Structure 1
Amino acid sequence: MTTTYHHSAAFNDLATLLTGQLVLPQDADYEQVRQLWNGRVKTQPAAIARCLTVQDVIHTIRWTRSHHLPFSVRGAGHEIFGRSLIENGVAINLSQMKAVTVDPKKRTAQIQAGATAGDLIEAAQKYGLATVTGTISSVGMTGLTLGGGYGPLNGAYGLAADNLLSAQLVTADGQLIAANAEENADLLWGLRGGGGNFGVVVSLEFRLHPLTTVLSGLLLYPLEQARTVLHRFNEFIATAPDELTIRSGFLQTPDGQTLLFLSPTYCGSLEMGEQAIAPLRTFGTVLVDRMQSVSYHELIHSNDAFSPKGRHYYIQTQSLDGLQTEAIKALIEQGLPLPSPFSAINIHHFHGAASRVGVSETAFALRQDHLMVELIAAWEQDDEQRYIQWAQNLSQALAPYAFKGGYINLLDEQEQERVRLAFGSNYERLLDLKQKYDPDDVFRSTIGHLAPYSLTR
């Protein structure tokens, strides 16, 4: 039975247990603390526990469960569907737990659960090191990794999940356990792309790679050449070197033009990079060429302006086995015009090192070359239905040419069957892990950014 808490006095004993702050709806900073990256999410928790230590997490889980209250878990808060907040329950907020410790000799980084891609990049770059992150700095490394982790270094270094060496998490009964190659290795396997279904991850250890600068930027092409450019792009990526990972898609410029973009990132030598991307300039008329040598830190921060916190977002996704004629037609005829100046079609390139990991080596199962398509509807204060409809219609138009599963970090709660299909032959193994580490199924509706779905038989 779930108890409803309406008065602050009910939480007094929890507040006294915390090193961090317990924020209640009547507090002046409640709305600021409550807000996620996606301003569309309006969920109102009964309390928000801003944890500063692992012990805070343990206390909150034990107290919440003993009072039969539902809880959710928030990492960095860069989350689309709002599962990191729970109505009338307790939101465990880890966003202040964001320390990063780098060991340059071992080429590893230990991060707390609230650390963002920007936090990790900033710490590692001092030693000429980096690891796989998402494409913007505010993305939380924990949620990104637990779902897989697409980014501009996938071809060279695999997914973010492939670079996870160990983790610590708090279980549903408030126990701190480790997952690494020697201890709970089965759990480490599940955390590499299997989501936050097993506990509250409080720290992670990543493999780092020598990397200071990349050749990256933006190539823009006129819309009328989109079919030709995308056909040539599809042929090109079949033999692209590992060092070259290319995002593509459609965006709207400030003057209202919709353009096709290619955004290559080459993480080898500058000379080899120039040779590798040269063919891209022959695919069509390049209207804008912003390719340059930049630090990885600059690259990731350069994308931040496209996705500011507080804007309203809705995302659908499909994963394609290349850009065949029918898929290109659907993207152009169903996807354009974009529904707002802030919306975009963003296509991630999965190949190279990421594709060479065996299907059963990690929980993340889609290990063949593919393109993961993000259909990003974004708007300010407005009627949301037409934006949602645009994304859903385009997703449905692409579905006949897509794999049956999907990228779990971008699947909403109405897409449970796609989650099962995404894990394929790994699904039963994940269910066994769930029974072992969370037999009471506590972590099923929780953990927005950390667990976007539930595992059920």
Structure 2
Amino acid sequence: MTTTRGESHSFFDDLDALLAGSLVLPEDPTYDQVRQLWNGRVNTHPAVLVRCADAQDVVHAVSWARTHGFALSVHGGGHDFAGRGLREDGVVIDCSQMRAVTIDPETHTARIQAGATVDDLIGASQQYGLAMTTGIVSSVGMAGLTLGGGYGPLMSKYGLVTDNLLSAQVVTVDGQLVTASATEHADLFWGLRGGGGNFGVMVSLEYRLHPVTMVLAGLLLYPLDQAREVLRFYDQFIKTSPDELTIQAGFLKMPDGMTVLFLHPVYCGPLEEGERVLKQLRTFVTPLVDQIQPVMYYDLVHALDAPMPKGRYYFIQTQSLDGLCAETVEALIECAQQFSSPFSAISLHHFHGAASRVAVSETAFALRQDHLLVEIIAAWEPQSPEEDQRHLQWAQGGSRALAPYALKGGYVNLLDEGEQERVPLAFGPNYERLLKLKRMYDPDDVFHSTIGHVKPTASQE
């Protein structure tokens, strides 16, 4: 359903009257600002954004949109590169103003609202000496991160973000507010942990926290001509890494235009032990730069804020590798040599330890073996459609070069809209169970704002 600009305000009057929050319509002066996501490349025009103030606003918005036949999407932190939080001519349930965080230092738990970001959670928990697995970009929304699984530098010690979810309040397609946990709606709780945004709107989430304040972390930078040697060593070193250590690797461009290989270890155990564990990594060859030092975890999660600003254009491709071989090392180096933009990067996320020891059937997130998630990030300032295409082709080319050596499927939070065929493979043996859950909680496929939607085909219904 669509509405014309002239009739928008009156058409939505009955919805507006129900809300504690507010509506933003195309004719409103804040419309373009409110619909702007992290990825400036997304240029979607919803019919209305419902800026929810609380869970009851979400209930009203879902019920109203269903009654009037509007497509729905859910906007949390707004950091999804594919822009799935917005629907063209649809109703956007915008939870970005719902950012309250409550910490219980006695039980080491946190309860957050749906719009809370990594910064909100870590900012509130650090004063109690607590933290949990998060990504390392502070503006990422916790709800979306959880729904996809949630990689981060503490996952080898404490599991994925989704492994730390204790309960969630969810608004279902029929406008009901239910609690999902290990003891209530346990099937829904299973699906929320890595199954994508397919079953309802999470309006609050409860997490387990851990005693983390300082970590030993920082960049090691190497010239490109040392990349083969360093990556061969890295591949062997991570095979015996303790749970306290994750080592992100990748390539980036320096301000002077030089392309470098980076290693980014994060050690979350005792700092003295971390110094011992990292000694060989820091000395087997001499890096250009060694920035490893004790750092507050709060500061660590702000490390990429400046290099990945809101409003720049982004396009991401991913592949998962069970390790590095000569062919994948060469493919990565060639991709780095052909960077299409000084803002682009390649990142290898190190998955092992506690995250690997969770049984495949325990959560919807299925890739539980040790692996490296390779993230090929095209980032650029827009110039022309032709230039945009060049950056997309660079990322796609890098992904294609790795694909013959990659594990099946993909990380649903970072799949592109053109990669729908990878979704069943990403969920692996959990896919059929997700289809059944979808038919139970959302048979009309109302909630499919992530690429990981599991809409049943005609033969599956």
Give the TM-score taking structure 2 as reference length: 0.96
Distance 2:138 2:38 in 1: 12
**Is 1:233 aligned with 2:255?**
no
Distance 2:158 2:430 in 1: 22
Partner of 2:125: 124
The Cα of 1:3 is off from its aligned counterpart by 4.7
| AA at the equivalent of 2:129 | G
Aligned residue for 1:264, secondary structure, equals strand
Distance 1:365 1:4 in 2: 41
Q: Is the 8 A contact 2:317 2:399 kept in 1?
A: yes
**Is 1:430 aligned with 2:434?**
yes
Q: Provide Cα deviations, 1:117-175, integer angstroms capped at 9, x if missing partner.
A: 01000111111000110111001110011100000101111100100110011011111
| AA at the equivalent of 2:401 | A
Partner of 2:173: 172
Q: Is the 8 A contact 1:412 1:452 kept in 2?
A: no
Aligned residue for 1:77, secondary structure, equals coil
| AA at the equivalent of 2:133 | V
Distance 1:336 1:404 in 2: 26
Partner of 1:409: 413
Distance 1:250 1:406 in 2: 21
In structure 1, runs of 5+ residues without a counterpart are: none
Q: Is the 8 A contact 2:251 2:336 kept in 1?
A: no
Partner of 2:38: 37
The alignment covers a number of residue pairs equal to 452
5 Å matches for 1:375-414?
A: 375-382=376-383, 383-414=387-418
Q: Which of 416, 419, 424 is the aligned partner of 2:423? A: 419
Aligned residue for 1:268, secondary structure, equals coil
Distance 1:89 1:407 in 2: 26
Partner of 2:184: 183
Partner of 1:92: 93
Partner of 1:456: 456
| AA at the equivalent of 1:239 | T
Bigger drift between 144-153 and 327-336 goes to: 327-336
The Cα of 1:5 is off from its aligned counterpart by 4.7
Distance 2:212 2:22 in 1: 38
Distance 1:283 1:416 in 2: 42
Aligned residue for 1:159, secondary structure, equals coil
Q: Is the 8 A contact 1:233 1:283 kept in 2?
A: no
Partner of 2:338: 337
The Cα of 1:334 is off from its aligned counterpart by 3.4
Distance 1:163 1:366 in 2: 17
Distance 2:223 2:267 in 1: 24
Distance 2:356 2:277 in 1: 20
| AA at the equivalent of 1:31 | D
Q: Is the 8 A contact 1:3 1:68 kept in 2?
A: no
| AA at the equivalent of 1:153 | L
The Cα of 1:455 is off from its aligned counterpart by 3.5
Q: Is the 8 A contact 1:100 1:119 kept in 2?
A: yes
Q: Provide Cα deviations, 1:79-101, integer angstroms capped at 9, x if missing partner.
A: 10011111111111100001001
Give the TM-score taking structure 1 as reference length: 0.97
5 Å matches for 1:128-167?
A: 128-167=129-168
Say if 1:305 and 1:266 are closer, same or farther in 2 by CA, change over 3 A.
same
Aligned residue for 1:306, secondary structure, equals coil
Partner of 1:258: 259
Distance 1:256 1:304 in 2: 20
Q: Is the 8 A contact 1:213 1:267 kept in 2?
A: yes
Aligned residue for 2:418, secondary structure, equals coil
Aligned residue for 2:156, secondary structure, equals helix
Aligned residue for 1:414, secondary structure, equals helix
The Cα of 1:302 is off from its aligned counterpart by 2.1
Q: Provide Cα deviations, 1:280-329, integer angstroms capped at 9, x if missing partner.
A: 12343300111110110011112211111000000000000111111001
Partner of 2:210: 209
Distance 1:118 1:67 in 2: 36
Q: Is the 8 A contact 2:47 2:90 kept in 1?
A: yes
| AA at the equivalent of 1:158 | G
The Cα of 1:4 is off from its aligned counterpart by 4.1
Distance 2:294 2:174 in 1: 49
| AA at the equivalent of 2:296 | S
In structure 2, runs of 5+ residues without a counterpart are: none
| AA at the equivalent of 1:168 | Q
| AA at the equivalent of 1:408 | V
Aligned residues: CA RMSD: 1.1
The Cα of 1:438 is off from its aligned counterpart by 1.0
Q: Provide Cα deviations, 1:252-277, integer angstroms capped at 9, x if missing partner.
A: 00011000000000000111101111
Distance 1:185 1:172 in 2: 17
Aligned residue for 1:142, secondary structure, equals helix
Partner of 1:308: 309
Distance 1:5 1:68 in 2: 16
- Percent identity (aligned): 65
